[in-house]
Structure 1
């Protein structure tokens, strides 16, 4: 088994989030750094106003590569992989469609619902986790299956590459002895053949049912420097717990509160309803980015980690020469998805990927 010390080194190698030290606009409260989100200070910005650079790539639509809703993407040295409802599509860096990777089904080597997708830097293979079949799969650039894990006890929702192999995070909902609903996320390490090496302590959260379902949108990793943090939003919209904090993993595998985002207005209104809800956080060398929900709308808050100033836009950023607003996504890299002109008569507009370099 891998020692706890080695696991800590492994997690620090992930480079999830980097701490921001005593910048202007960050308050201190009991040792916990607080960044305030001034909800009334809204503006309108274009992507080029805040990003150092970005590359726009229109994806070629053929009869084999028609795309509905895009779940996430991964970018290797030679290819772009797009995960959508029907499977995984491979494009080159110019956006030309190459092939489908794997097949949607239940046979060995198939997947049903890809939840997380990464590029293994060791060999540029594409590695995915399947939520329905509870397993991980790895394909090479030609689409050949290289490895497939055994079925896990809980659905995997996240995977990241580390020197020893992969970090897997699984998600499960159970009832305790009092019939309360518990959410359990297990963290463990696998080698590159998906053999389990060791585990960290699970995260357990008690949540309430809301409309028969639980609202869940894990947001675990964006990469920056070497300080190890994660953000873990979980729970229904009527939950009174405010999930607004980055957590640091200490040497015992515990999750310690480190950095908090605080709204300028009350999160809970007079009727006891939660009106502000942070959906995800992304950290890069230039910004803390927070996407939050308020009264049916999404807002994007950016905090400049070097200058200490911030900005806030409703619905997301604009893109030059395109209509609409767009929220950034992240799956190891940061990107926007927009629509272009369709090359197939009568079909939906071609999607376009904007790969973002936020700067330093």
Structure 2
């Protein structure tokens, strides 16, 4: 049996009102276009949103980085952009940085997470989708899931996990990568991924090379050369049967974590785990949101989804995130609510600095 590939590709191609949510007509258009490819290019598909981002979940047998699959996603986003422009939606076509598809959608603006694997007897897959934050937001959670026994007791209790995991980390500025084997290199891993604005966990593997997690690491502002919106990353995590259990994968999301993004991509704020019905960014264009959809993968079919965070077990962290939002919002334009100077280089602040640069005078020694 051929391997199954899951491709999760997202883009902000227009929203209403403002940057808050994807219009139902965009979801309908995308779903129809993907459905037309089932049994042809695709095995199965699912369309949803998180905030203003349109999320395409596709299964197929063409492997990661398939030009045909990427082209399909591009065509979907391009068609949805036409709909967005017709309705005068906000930010129509925002994440599409080129006029036409050029072979690899990862270089054209949309975010991409993919993995190819041999299906197990039972293969639960969790797909996380975030809005108003960047790809480094996943670093904390992936470390807790795959390297912290206080979160994942299976690292201690399950022989199938006790060998640890390998993390592939990407330097999004210098365009290079490095791998760390944990637990023995966990301190070295933390030395890098704690700087989540630059170093991002791209993949997690078992020691034998089996893939278990994949994220989108596209930095939209670096690709475009200017601020055009936050990256709003996606992540795929396989669970159970030799991997962390579903509960172990979800446990880190009970902690209120500050991530970069929020208003104008320029502020730190709490990442709020919500069900789909609450995945609409409002307060201060946020706070940042994350939704999780769970599927069983069966011969390429997506059995589901289950709306994972639509659960009162996460009410407490949601309340704590809102309290944290109150606290950090009170700091207004001051750090650490506003991002550090280095990160602000990738927002609209440089335009302000350019206007004022001639008013600066050198200090005398």
TM bucket, shorter chain: under 0.3
Q: Which has the higher strand share?
A: 1
Q: What TM-score do you get using the length of structure 1 for normalisation?
A: 0.27
Q: What TM-score do you get using the length of structure 2 for normalisation?
A: 0.27
Q: Which has the higher helix share?
A: 2
